[in-house]
Structure 1
């Protein structure tokens, strides 16, 4: 009978490209790494494929130590940083932070556009901007309930940006680029956007004293160093210059692009070119890391969730604080909007759940499933994913967490979604029973 490890290895191998693979790259990935942890560390670590295209004798193998941009997987770490401040009493989740983040009130709330007659010109449209009168809080920033959306692809925000002559956009990785109107009054809905970027800015402004604190420096001192995450960074270009011994470029995974018509892969560039050397360190999408190192974060959260002294010491979070992170945060309007988004863009919001599954909420750090997912994670688990198709989940009830790291574009890649589903089902069908037997025998 095959072991759980061999089954997971086979799944990864089946979905990835190898030197002896057929010429076609359709329905394949150039490489992937998958890690499953409990509170003590990895219980499975595997990788398959290669770090670049085309694959030949000199193309490095993809490993759990391969270095790549994980985009929105950053959000969990930024949340941990803010919750450290909450636990220390330096920040209250429901305090008004508008004074610390005055940029958020610059444009107000965009309610739409009104027709405006212009003599001798074609009829134009003028933005309807309403003053923000309600508090903006850290809780809203961390749960996407503040009203901030990414502007690219959003017709109202793109029209507004054109009207005001805005330079840059939310992908520019600058404070100016993140500065947009809200789409609704703070706390009165849910929309995915730059809330975590602003949470990072808030942290920087709250922790800067005589010397400037950047989000990356704070993460280095309060997450990366305590957990032994040597390669993880928000500014790889700077890291490469200052710490060449880490050889991150040798471990770098190149971006693969899938052709929408043929399904074939080709080598491409980062969809956000500024991610390699950003002007501002993004709390929403700035992290570069490895599967091994991201797994250390998931394991540390599980340790903190168990109430262990080690977990509290490493992450600076008590069990009660972690419990708060995993508690549902959205009000009725927020729930209505996140479920509507899940129905409209299922593959982009909650692809690991069956179509029609809407027992969801949002915690502090990620999306929560409020019911068991058959054959997969248990109720109360938290998850999220990134622009280039990496994923993670933490299942406190079972006692495991996992991450799948890939460098694949466009977002919501169907091959990654199917791979992730196969891996998770094998985790719960094969690995968890095997792991439980081993841990029971040790006890």
Structure 2
């Protein structure tokens, strides 16, 4: 597969065959895959929107959940470029609920056993997930702070918080930090809080800011915090595994589900729906250093900062389940830092979504892969359909 243009038909057909196998075996009802090299995209839709539904199409809408995180990080960097936020300034001015933090003595301490935070939380802490809040990946839960998160309605799981932004911040403000600001990488909470911060600084809703500054300039016409009624006919049904029944069950339907109407909370960690072409516009903008066509949403220096690893190995030691040994973290996305994994291309950046989506871009090869499915992941570890997609894509890209 030589040359700098699109993949050969044989290579793309091979990838399609591997992906079709997962649908034929009933692992999931359908999927949309997109691969792009040097800006030339090839897309295929396989299977159905639901097991008994209509055929999957290129413009099918999926819940991209944690693929929302890089979009949120980019929005924060827009405000940094405008001088309305500074990376290392405290966020207390905009998020007074997070002022004067207390920090647990140890991860397994009682919630009241705390010391004062050594410094305030900064925007950089939120972007790099070192703000002191986040998921402790120990299951079943055994630490008092995990129980406190659950009681506050902030426990990890497939159903996300549904509070008004001010109430969400009040709940975070009621909890101590697990670690000192800047000390450890903990997943997820930074992006939830970032969405509230962006809305408060911008003086508008988070969704309106994203639409005006990112989605409209990039032509991402189907990306939003919900799928409106006139798009329900191409909104995929989400499924999750029912281990007791040994089959997939409907988790989120397209018409009456959680993503079918405007949400109470526009979740910067996991709230967006999108399509393959829409998200590819975002991916190509990132590969282009912040621009797509005549639209520029960010400067190249800001994109470079976002896509450069910002953490050291010791800072992620409690969260190896999410990043493993080959990945670090930039701003709102992972960055491959090692080559122990055959799928880990050094410098590749992107992230996955817990409802069954995956995106990574390789700046060296100018290669992007996007896989959209509607099967909720069983764990933070990549499911077989992800592994097969990336392994096969790497193989055919190297041919």
Q: Which band: TM-score by shorter chain?
A: 0.7 to 0.9
Match of residue 20 from structure 2: 13
Q: Which of 208, 226, 239 is 1:256 aligned to? A: 239
Match of residue 281 from structure 1: 266
1:114 and 1:320 map into 2 onto residues whose CA distance is 40
Is there any run of 5+ residues in structure 2 with no aligned partner, and where?
A: 1-7
Q: Which of 276, 292, 305 is 1:324 aligned to? A: 305
Match of residue 220 from structure 2: 229
Count, aligned residues: 376
2:213 and 2:294 map into 1 onto residues whose CA distance is 10
- Residues 103-252 of structure 1: pairs in structure 2 closer than 5 A: 103-105=97-99, 108-111=102-105, 127-150=112-135, 155-160=143-148, 166=152, 171-174=160-163, 175=165, 176-177=167-168, 179-180=171-172, 181=175, 182-208=177-203, 213-236=204-227, 239-240=228-229, 247-252=230-235
Q: Which of 361, 367, 381 is 1:400 aligned to? A: 367
Deviation at 1:285, TM superposition (A): 0.8
Q: Deviations over 1:385-425 (max 9, x none)?
A: 122121111111111122111121243387x6222222223
Change (3 A) 1:138 1:168: closer
Change (3 A) 1:160 1:105: farther
Deviation at 1:268, TM superposition (A): 2.7
Aligned to 1:250, the other structure's residue is in SS state: helix
CA RMSD of aligned residues (A): 2.9
TM-score by length of 2: 0.84
1:126 and 1:89 map into 2 onto residues whose CA distance is 37
Match of residue 47 from structure 2: 49
Deviation at 1:340, TM superposition (A): 4.5
1:423 and 1:99 map into 2 onto residues whose CA distance is 44
2:251 and 2:374 map into 1 onto residues whose CA distance is 10
Q: Deviations over 1:136-193 (max 9, x none)?
A: 111110111111114896543343357xx74676732323245322211110111112
CA contact (8 A) 1:167 1:177 kept: no
1:290 matches 2:275 = yes
2:386 and 2:107 map into 1 onto residues whose CA distance is 42
Deviation at 1:47, TM superposition (A): 2.1
Aligned to 1:72, the other structure's residue is in SS state: helix
Match of residue 387 from structure 2: 421
2:59 and 2:71 map into 1 onto residues whose CA distance is 19
- Residues 280-359 of structure 1: pairs in structure 2 closer than 5 A: 280-304=265-289, 310-311=291-292, 314-330=295-311, 332=312, 335-342=313-320, 345=321, 349-350=322-323, 358-359=325-326
Deviation at 1:235, TM superposition (A): 3.5
1:68 and 1:369 map into 2 onto residues whose CA distance is 25
Match of residue 69 from structure 1: 63
CA contact (8 A) 1:200 1:283 kept: yes
TM-score by length of 1: 0.76
Change (3 A) 1:373 1:230: farther
Change (3 A) 1:136 1:168: closer
Q: Deviations over 1:311-369 (max 9, x none)?
A: 49534222222111122212x4xx22424422xx3xxx24xxxxxx6143211131111
CA contact (8 A) 1:52 1:267 kept: no
Is there any run of 5+ residues in structure 1 with no aligned partner, and where?
A: 116-124, 241-246, 351-356, 434-443
CA contact (8 A) 2:62 2:374 kept: yes
Change (3 A) 1:113 1:385: closer
